[in-house]
Amino acid sequence: MRFVDLLDILPPGETMFDSALLLAGEPHPAEVRRRLSRWTAAGKLLQLRRGLYVVAVPYADAHPHPFVIANRLQRGSYVSAQAALAFRGTIPEYVPVVTSVSTGRPRTRRTPLGVYQFRHIAPGLLWGAELLEVAPGARVLVATAEKALLDLVHLTPRADDPRYLAELRLDTTTLDLERLMSFAERTTRPKLMRAAEAVAGIAGDRGVEERFEPL
């Protein structure tokens, strides 16, 4: 197989693939692996983890969206915490690490296209994500702003402290406070219910400040 043959095999617009795509029905899998290694060494492919590759620019027009990569790096995960909050405009900071949650074991993957962190949560907390189109034709699982905030609090020690929540500089207009409270109650975790109440207090205080802002 030549490199141009690989590009022809990939679906239109798809630049990320599992090596299983090339190995299926292949009489000489060792040769396929050697070619993948050679193309990676030549800078034509980027290896994200064992068996997962991306066609490098300029052989592809662009790299996949970071959230697309995150979903593929670990099946059964969804993007959450600071990465989802920044994407939804709930926190103002740029987030260099994409954090996802799943029921799998925690790990951090450092790839040529960024750092991806996977945090463990209990199966009973693995909900609150929705399919979003983050790039043309690319739909991935991303936590709602409310669930992303609760996941962050759950995973961070003492994050129910109002001072910690205030330091996040939350844009509370991007949050559905009723949904936030409902989600917190669904978890039955006192820490998350305290955090939701604190965020509602922050939103209320800011509403008062805006109403009495001097002309």
Residue 210 pLDDT greater than 60, yes or no: no
Question: Based on the domain organization, do 35 and 93 belong to the same domain?
Answer: no
- Report, as an integer, the average pLDDT of 111-115: 97
The percent of residues above 70 in pLDDT, for the chain, comes to 93
Pairing of strands 97-102, 114-120: parallel
141 assigned to some structural domain: yes
Average pLDDT of the chain to the nearest whole number? 93
- Report, as an integer, the average pLDDT of 66-82: 97
- The pLDDT tens digits of the residues spanning 127-184 come to 999 999 998 889 999 999 999 999 999 999 999 999 999 999 999 999 999 999 999 9
Question: Based on the domain organization, do 32 and 133 belong to the same domain?
Answer: no
- The pLDDT tens digits of the residues spanning 5-48 come to 999 989 888 999 999 888 876 668 889 899 999 999 999 999 99
Q: Structural domain of residue 131, as residue ranges?
A: 66-209
Position 119 confidence tier, pLDDT thresholds 50, 70, 90:
very high
CATH of the domain at 96: 3.30.460
Residue-level pLDDT at 208: 44
Residue-level pLDDT at 80: 98
Question: Based on the domain organization, do 38 and 81 belong to the same domain?
Answer: no
Question: Based on the domain organization, do 198 and 139 belong to the same domain?
Answer: yes
78 assigned to some structural domain: yes
Residue 104 pLDDT greater than 60, yes or no: yes
Question: Based on the domain organization, do 105 and 22 belong to the same domain?
Answer: no
86-94's contacts with Cβ under 8 Å and 24+ in sequence apart are: 87/134, 87/142, 88/142, 88/144, 88/145, 88/148, 88/174, 89/171, 89/174, 90/145, 90/148, 90/149, 90/170, 90/171, 90/174, 90/175, 91/168, 91/169, 91/170, 91/171, 92/169, 92/171
